[in-house]
Amino acid sequence: MTAPASSRKSQLDSAQIVLNTIRHPVIMVGPDSRISFANADAEDFFKASAVILSRNTLDHFVPFGSPLLTLVEQVRERKAAVNEYRVDISSPRIGPDKIVDIYVAPVVEIPGSVVIMFQERSMAEKIDRQMTHRGAARSVTGLAAMLAHEIKNPLSGIRGAAQLLETVVPDEDRTLTRLITEETDRIVSLVDRMEIFSDERPIERSAVNIHAVLDRVKAIARNGFASRIKIVEEYDPSLPPVFANRDQLVQVFLNLVKNAAEAIGSDPKGEIKLSTAFRPGMRLSVPGSADRVSLPLEFCVTDNGPGVSEDILPILFDPFITTKQNGSGLGLALVAKIVGEHGGIIECESSRAGTTFRILMPAWRESTYPAGHDPDGGLDG
């Protein structure tokens, strides 16, 4: 039974409202490559009204040979959605410096049609931040080397002297000698943590079952710092293995889950969600290389805590940045370093409703290993 014309018009009006609410340019391109729909942000993006857009094909607005046109054809042929990052679609008609993230999906109900969403906050910004994190980590490396030589040795002498004094001073003064000992131990521990950044040895990587890693992290958390917090899972069971170092991944997610637990605190409604997903077609350009790297594996740690301050968010992965009263600010910097060394990226999205740390990493491929190599830890399927 066909819906009444008034009902269909109401549905179309509702869809128009929803698409205009999305704060990204969204267009639909028909089988003839004409732009059959554009939301309000798309009109601003293309510097043309929806009426003008509908009179033209997509190649009227983007350069000849643009990757966007190739993506549209790929989606039509494969009938599967594709994400592409850092695509340059600059042209005289839409303006210079138009480097965008693009999502293209087929419209099943209209064969040959595709929907395209542009995200001007491109992945390039995330890559730039990763480069900044790595540069900051190198700074910590140099500082750690200097501190190890210039501070750790004198501190051992101070600690020894304090221990000797403790044996000869009156009882009422022993509190001070113990304070000296404890504070020197704390500084040495901080320098030791910084020295981790100077470890430049090649990472031993293999096919790793990310769900086994997360189960290990969850077991540690439930038996310790997150014993009273609900931890939920949202896993893709068919996920392929990640090409990584298992112990370092445990360290990464243990750090993120611990941060989430500390953000939640004593809230009885606190919840941490661990999720995994496969994002086919997710590729990005790496500065200094013409190749596009595929990072199809997405791992997230989400909490419903109070969120991260907007002032802190852009520098959250920098060394010595912390919101904790007694924090060193090295935990997330180390996480960013490990993820970066694995060829992945990490980002954080936060609001008053909670915080999500999202990690994108490469999948393991059998061609990575010589014939006869049988790595363990892979996922079924």
Of the chain, the percentage scoring pLDDT greater than 70 comes to 70
Find the helix packing angle between 153-166 and 174-195, rounded to 10°: 160
Query: What's the burial of 52, exposed, middle or buried (CB within 10 Å: 0-12/13-18/19+)?
Result: middle
Question: CATH topology for 125-198?
Answer: Helix Hairpins (1.10.287)
Please, what CATH class does the domain formed by 206-368 belong to? alpha beta
**Comparing 248 with 320, which gets the higher pLDDT?**
248
User: How far apart are the C-alpha atoms of 48 and 58, rounded to whole Å?
Assistant: 13
pLDDT given for residue 374 in this prediction = 35
Beta strand 271-278 with 230-234 is parallel
- Looking at 11-15, 26-30, 60-64, which range is the least confident one? 11-15
Architecture of domain 5-121: 2-Layer Sandwich (3.30)
Q: Does residue 116 contact residue 68 with C-beta atoms inside 8 Å?
A: yes
Q: Does residue 335 contact residue 318 with C-beta atoms inside 8 Å?
A: no
Element (DSSP H or E) covering residue 249: helix 246-264
What is the average per-residue pLDDT within 125-136? Answer: 53
What is the average per-residue pLDDT within 292-310? Answer: 84
Q: Does residue 182 contact residue 159 with C-beta atoms inside 8 Å?
A: no
Q: Does residue 336 contact residue 130 with C-beta atoms inside 8 Å?
A: yes
Query: What's the burial of 56, exposed, middle or buried (CB within 10 Å: 0-12/13-18/19+)?
Result: middle
User: How far apart are the C-alpha atoms of 102 and 287, rounded to whole Å?
Assistant: 18
pLDDT given for residue 20 in this prediction = 65
Strands (E), the chain: 26-29, 35-38, 82-88, 99-106, 114-119, 206-208, 230-234, 242-244, 271-278, 283-285, 292-294, 297-303, 345-351, 354-361
pLDDT of 156 strictly over 80: no
Domain ranges of the chain: 5-121, 125-198, 206-368
This prediction has a pTM of: 0.52
pLDDT of 172 strictly over 60: yes
Tokens encoding 294: 């595929």
User: How far apart are the C-alpha atoms of 213 and 37, rounded to whole Å?
Assistant: 45
DSSP-assigned beta bridge partners for residue 336: none
Average of per-residue pLDDT values in the chain? 77
